[in-house]
Amino acid sequence: MHDSGKSRHRCVILGCGGHGRVVLDILTNTGELEVVGFVDSNSEMHGRRIDGIEVLGAPSDLPRLCRELNVSRAIVAVGDNGARRALADQVETMGFELINAIHPSAGLARNVTLGRNIVIAAGALVCAHCQIGDSVILNTGCLVDHESLIGTATHICPGARLAGRVTVESGAFVGIGATIIQSTRVGFEAVIGAGAVVIEDVPPMSTVVGVPAKPIKRIGKTADMHAWLIPERAPRRIPPPAVDIPLSAKAP
């Protein structure tokens, strides 16, 4: 806990659901920042308190809250990968500095690189030379082994274990207790089911489950309307041409 009398930077947490409460707990444990409140689009929560911290208003109230409460830092604590990324972009455009929440019991190698708006929960381990992108959640007790690349707005759920040199592309979801062997790639917005054991690359936007993991569907549940709003990803979603190109066709 924070024990010095010096003034701390003030921040707000976007999202007062389960993940928001975890983030409040982490920030309270580190004590480095003063949480002045939550903001949440659910108006039924406005004015309520969670663990003593008030839900101050909606994300659209942030510019006013920034002026009135002298707060310039924020963290987006929304579980949905696409929504978290989109909100982080909006908050940054408003001029807020996005902060990370790293539990004191998490273990990070010295040479791990971190983006912004990252949550690393209690007991998570991140080993040498890993790169963790913006808006990533490394949830309770997960393991990310050496030289792994964890892409923007991904969620590595509690107890998931990633061996060395794993790549998780943006928007992917690695379910609770899943295991991914070394040097494999999880495609963008793919979903790895709870307890799955991934032994080969996972195609983008597919869902895989089981031991060893096998696909059950293309276009996972994480594909949502927010993803359509992200320009750099939109072209990938353009439907294939109506005329099939024969698989045997040679490139010119």
Ligand X SMILES: CC(C)(COP(=O)(O)OP(=O)(O)OC[C@H]1O[C@@H](n2cnc3c(N)ncnc32)[C@H](O)[C@@H]1OP(=O)(O)O)[C@@H](O)C(=O)NCCC(=O)NCCS
**Which residues here bind ligand X, judged by CB under 6 A?**
139, 157-158, 175-176, 191, 193-195, 207, 209-210, 216, 221
Contact 30, 103 (CB under 8 A): yes
In the chain the first and final C-alpha atoms are separated, in Å, by 64
Q: Nearer Cβ to ligand X, position 62 or 77?
A: 77
Q: Give the pair of three-digit tokens for residue 139.
A: 């949830």
To the nearest whole angstrom, how small is the minimum distance from the Cβ of residue 175 to ligand X? 3
CA distances from 144 to 91, 183, 212, 218, 252 (A): 28, 12, 19, 26, 42
Determine the 3-state secondary structure of 227 from DSSP: helix
To the nearest whole angstrom, how small is the minimum distance from the Cβ of residue 67 to ligand X? 35
Closest CA to 47 of 70, 16, 68: 16
To the nearest whole angstrom, how small is the minimum distance from the Cβ of residue 212 to ligand X? 11
Question: What whole-number distance in Å separates Cα of residue 204 and Cα of residue 194?
Answer: 18
Contact 155, 138 (CB under 8 A): no
To the nearest whole angstrom, how small is the minimum distance from the Cβ of residue 138 to ligand X? 11
Q: Nearer Cβ to ligand X, position 193 or 204?
A: 193
Q: Nearer Cβ to ligand X, position 102 or 142?
A: 142
Q: Nearer Cβ to ligand X, position 19 or 73?
A: 19
To the nearest whole angstrom, how small is the minimum distance from the Cβ of residue 7 to ligand X? 35
Tally of CB atoms within 10 A around 251: 3
To the nearest whole angstrom, how small is the minimum distance from the Cβ of residue 93 to ligand X? 28
Question: What whole-number distance in Å separates Cα of residue 40 and Cα of residue 59?
Answer: 6
Q: For the chain, what percentages of helix, strand and coil (3-state, to nearest 5) are there? A: 20, 30, 55
Q: Nearer Cβ to ligand X, position 64 or 221?
A: 221
Show Cβ contacts of residue 199 under 8 Å, excluding neighbours closer than 6 positions: 181, 184, 212, 213
Q: Nearer Cβ to ligand X, position 158 or 187?
A: 158
